[in-house]
Homo-oligomer: A and B are copies of this chain.
Amino acid sequence: MSITAPRGFRAAATTAGIKPSGAADMALVVNDGPQRHAAAVFTRNKVCAAPVTLSKAAALDGRLDAVVYNSGNANACTGRQGYADAEEMQGAVARSLGLSPQNVACCSTGLIGEPLPMPLVRGGIDALVAGLGPHGAEAARAIMTTDTVPKEVLVEGEGFLLGGMGKGVGMMAPSLATMLVCLTTDAVATPEALDAALRRATACTFDVLDIDGSTSTNDTVLLLSSGASGVRPAQEELDAVVERACRELARAMQADAEGVTKRVSITVAGARSAEEALVAARTVGRDNLVKCAMFGSDPNWGRVLAAVGMAPVEMNPEAISVRFNGHLVCEESTAVPGAREVDLSGPDIAVEIHLGAGEATGTVSTTDLSHAYVEINSAYTT
C-alpha cells in the first residue's frame, strides 16, 4: 500500500524541523519514467497558496517529474516572499535531481500566514534527495497534519498498479484542513487520459466529501504515471482504478476527520436533477443543527426537514420523506410513529431524503459536529 509500489517511483521523507512536534514534515516523490505524465486538480478557493499557483503552472503541460511536500506550514497568505520560497523549493529539488524546475510541483500544508522557515526547508530537501527509495509509507506519514493515521491505498489493474497517499479531509467544495493527495501508477497513459480519469474520480469522491463546508487554500490532487509496466489500460479501466483509489482515500479521510464520532452519508432522492440532489444533500450536510443531532445520536428528522427546506432546489414541501439507517421516520413531511426511537448510536448514519420533485439522486459524505471538533479547531494555532 504505497506510492512506491508501482514501478518507476521513488520517495523519501525527513524531519526538517518545521513541525514543533518533531514529527516528519517533508516528503519527495520522484517519477523515474520512462513516461512522466501527470494530471492535477486544485482548490477552487480564490485565496490560494503560493505552492498551488506554482504547481498549477508546472502541471499545465501534463508532465511532472517530481513533487516536493512539506507539512507544518501551508505557505499560504505569505505574499511575494511565499511565492519566492515555493520557487526556491522547486528549484532546489530540480537542481539536485537534474530536472527542469517547471517539471517539479510543490505542495504545502499546515498553518496559514507564517513564512516558511527556509533554512530548515533547504536542509530538508538535501536529506530528501539523499534518501530516495521505496519509502512511500514514510512519505505518507510526513504529509500528515491533524491526521491521526497515515492514509494510503494500492489498487491493482490488469498488469499495472496504482498507489496513493493522502492527508487531511476535504477539497474544493469541502475541506477541513488542507487535503493533499498523490496518486502514482505504472500504467501507460497520455496526460489527457490521466486528466479525464482524475476529474471523473474526484467529482464523485473528494468533491462530495464535505466535512465542515470550509475550503482550504492548498488542496491539491496529483496523478503521476511512469508507464513502467508497459501496459496501456483502456480508459474505462483507468477510470475505474483511479476512482477506486480516490474512493478509498476519501473514506479514510472521512473516518479520520477532525473530531469525528459519526460517519454520515446524506442521500437526496426525488430531485429534479442530479445537480439539485447534490446541492440539497450538501445543504443538509453542512447544517450545524443536523450535525449536532448526529453527534447526539438523536433521530431529529425535523432538523433535516428544516435544513433541506432552505436548499435552493425544487421540492414538494408537503411530500418529503426521511429515512435514518433505512428506517422511515418522516413521510409526507410528518412524523412516522416510532420515529424518535430509531437507534443512531452506531458510528455510521445514513440519512435518506426524498424531495418528491423528480427522479434524480445525489449523495454527500460528512461527519457529525462534536466537542472534539470545537476543541481541535479552537486551539490550533495557540
B residues in contact with A199, CB < 8 Å: none
CB proximity to B under 8 Å, residues A209-252: 212-217
Q: Is the CB of B113 within 8 A of A292?
A: no
Chain B residue numbers with a CB within 8 Å of A112 are 300, 302-303, 305-306
Residues of A in contact, count (CB < 8 Å)? 67
User: Counting CB contacts under 8 A, is A133 at the interface?
Assistant: no
Which residues does chain B contribute within 8 Å of A212, judged by CB atoms?
Answer: 288-289
The reply to whether A382 and B288 form a contact with Cβ atoms under 8 Å apart is no
Stretch at the interface among A3-11, A44-52, A159-167: A44-52
In the complex the two chains form, what is the Cα distance from A378 to B378 in whole Å? 19
0 or 1 for each of A109-120: is its CB under 8 Å from B? (1 = yes): 001111100000
Known: A113-B302, A296-B378, A378-B295. Is A77-B335 also a contact (CB below 8 A)?
Answer: yes
Q: For residue A331, which residue of chain B has the nearest CB?
A: B79
A310 interface neighbour in B215, B318, B381, Cβ under 8 Å: B215
Task: Tell me the nearest residue of chain B to A81, going by C-beta.
Answer: B334
Q: Is the CB of A298 within 8 A of B378?
A: yes
- Give the interface centre of A301, A306, A374, A377 by most chain B CB atoms within 10 Å: A306
A307 touches B214 (CB 8 A): yes
Answer yes or no: A270 CB below 8 A from chain B CBs.
no
Report chain B residues within 8 Å CB of A45: 306, 309-310
Q: Knowing A47-B305, A216-B306, A296-B378 touch, does A330 contact B77 (C-beta < 8 A)?
A: yes
Main secondary structure of the interface of A (DSSP, over half): loop
- Check B382–A374 contact: CB distance below 8 A: no
A293's partner among B82, B287, B380 (CB-CB below 8 A) is B380
Interface contact A113-B339, CB-CB below 8 Å: yes
Chain A residues 347 to 382 lying within 8 A of chain B, measured CB to CB, are: 369-371, 373-375, 377-382
Query: Do residues A334 and B371 form an inter-chain contact, with CB atoms below 8 A?
Result: no
Interface centre among A111, A298, A318, by most chain B C-beta atoms within 10 angstroms, is A298
Inter-chain contacts of A320 with B (CB < 8 A): 47
Query: Can you give 21 A-B contacts (C-beta < 8 A)?
Result: A46-B317, A47-B308, A47-B309, A74-B302, A76-B302, A77-B330, A79-B318, A82-B334, A111-B302, A113-B305, A113-B339, A114-B335, A214-B303, A215-B309, A215-B310, A217-B302, A217-B306, A288-B377, A292-B374, A296-B382, A300-B381
Please give the residue numbers on chain A whose beta carbons come within 8 Å of chain B beta carbons, in ascending order. Answer: 44-48, 74, 76-79, 81-82, 111-115, 176, 212-217, 286-289, 292-293, 295-298, 300-303, 305-310, 315, 317-318, 320, 330, 332-335, 339-340, 369-371, 373-375, 377-382
